[in-house]
Amino acid sequence: MKKTLAILVSLVGAIALFGCESNVQRPTYADITFAHKAPILLDVAEIIIRSDYKSSFTTPNVEHELPVDLNAIAQLWASDRLKATGSEGRLTFVVTDASVIEVPLEKTDGLTGIFTTDQSEKYKARIVVTLDAENPMGGRMANTSAEVGRSQTVGEDVTLNQREAIWYGMAEKMANDLDAQLDANVRSYLKDFILK
């Protein structure tokens, strides 16, 4: 009888736990794009967009766990903001880094640690891109780059949904930073390729 009761209690507990977990809904996040910004018209015949960054998909890298892809966001900047309108020459846009590193933080030990909610991880995100423009016929060459980064700590009591919201917020801010920096750098260092 006791054994049957123990099994029944365990079964009811498992069903209750499963029911709680199935009610937790994962939020959806809007795509981060730059289509609402005015394009920069370039005097080149083609724009090549590529990524040389390959995620390791292993600790400490966690960029593959984010609800949005930093690598894709960087490449989308080029396709949304840069437009080839010339008859010769090309611009090459390359993503060289789009990483997010998780750094474990020290937690409070002992009795104090039981009553303390520590910051358990720090996330360090980075996007680096390079741009090279060339028009051999016109004898013009120019290049520039941009690097943006953000870091954020999270508490040990943070839920998965809260963690993803923090990651999304970091990505959104980095996208804005990248847009501002690249817009300024292209207009400064690639000005000979910009159509007036």
In tens digits, the chain (196 residues) has pLDDT values of 545 444 444 544 444 444 444 566 888 999 999 999 999 999 999 999 999 999 999 999 999 999 999 999 999 999 999 999 999 999 999 999 999 999 999 887 777 766 677 789 999 999 999 999 999 887 899 999 999 999 999 999 999 999 999 999 999 999 999 999 999 999 999 999 998 6
pTM of the model: 0.82
| Residue 1 domain flag | no
| Residue 131 domain flag | yes
Give which of 152, 132, 150, 151 is closest to 142, Cα–Cα: 132
According to the model, what pLDDT value does residue 109 have? 78
Tell me how far apart the alpha carbons of residues 157 and 169 are, in angstroms, rounded to a whole number. Answer: 19
| Residue 137 domain flag | yes
Half-sphere CA count of 91, side-chain side, radius 13 A? 31
| Residue 27 domain flag | no
According to the model, what pLDDT value does residue 36 have? 96
- Count of domains forming the chain: 1
User: Domain containing 178 — which CATH number?
Assistant: 3.30.160
| Residue 9 domain flag | no
| Residue 7 domain flag | no
Q: Which domain holds residue 137?
A: 39-105+116-193
| Residue 8 domain flag | no
Angle between helices 70-81 and 160-189 (to 10 degrees): 40
| Residue 141 domain flag | yes
